[in-house]
Structure formats: structure tokens, C-alpha cells
Amino acid sequence: MRLQQLLLVFAITVGTHVSLMAQLQIIPPGPPFVFAPKPVKPFAARDVSGSGRFLLRIDIKKGDVKQVVIRQSTGDQRLDEAAVKALSTWRVKPGALHHEDTSLHVSPPRAADEALVEIPITFSTARGPSHPLHPTRSE
């Protein structure tokens, strides 16, 4: 799967035509994100690589990221911290997302004016981190 198509909230289906345990929310590249800087790989971790998945708790009305939760670690605390730092500054166009009930539990519990979005981030040793909205082109 291509990174630019992977911006989604975790979804599980059990069998055919069975209700979703978590709602899928696919976010195409570009809008609704109005500000989405790439994580800066720490110099001390220049020889480290890893991939992780991060949940963004977003205020639907304001478009602000209220919380970043590490769903799957990159395997390196420095890379996780760099990803959380960058993702916490992301902004979404106000009103572009909507609240969906999910089986995902976050603390504190999600309010009706919040949305959850899962973002994959990959740090490699060859280049900086991949950007889910602007993936690096292979040469």
C-alpha cells in the first residue's frame, strides 16, 4: 500500500456485511491538512531507522491536534519523540473531519467534537522521515 493512501483510522471488519468495530476514515493527500510539517530526524539517531503509527486526536471545530498517541513505536524513543513533536503541530481544515464511534480506546475518552486519525511515519537511514502526505519519490 502506498503511504499517501494510508491516512486512515483503524478499521476491523469481521466477516462479510458485519458492522465495523471501528469506523474507517480515509483522508486523501493534501486537504484537509492545512499544516503538516515533516518530522525532523534527530542527529543522534542518524543511523537508526524505524516505522511507527501514531493516532492524532483532532478538535473537529478548530482543526487543532489535541493529543498524539503512539499506537506502534518506531522502536527508538528519539524517533518517536520527533514524530510526536511534528505531528502535534499539524492542523486540519476546521470542520473537514467528523466524529466516528470506534472500538479504539484512548485516555481521556474521546469527546463528540473530536476525531481520531492514524498516521504512519517511517524513518530510514538513507533519507529523512517519509511524509504520509508528501512521500519521497524513488529515484
Specify the 3-state DSSP secondary structure of 71.
strand
Cα gap 40→17, rounded to integer Å: 42
Query: How would CATH label the architecture of 3-123?
Result: 2-Layer Sandwich (3.30)
- Report pLDDT digits (tens) over 81-94: 999 999 999 999 99
pLDDT in tens, 93-119: 998 888 877 777 777 777 888 988 889
Is the overall model pTM greater than 0.75, yes or no?
Answer: no
Which sequence spans correspond to the domains of the chain? 3-123
CB neighbour list of residue 136: distance below 8 Å, 6 or more residues apart: 127, 130
- The residue type at 70: I
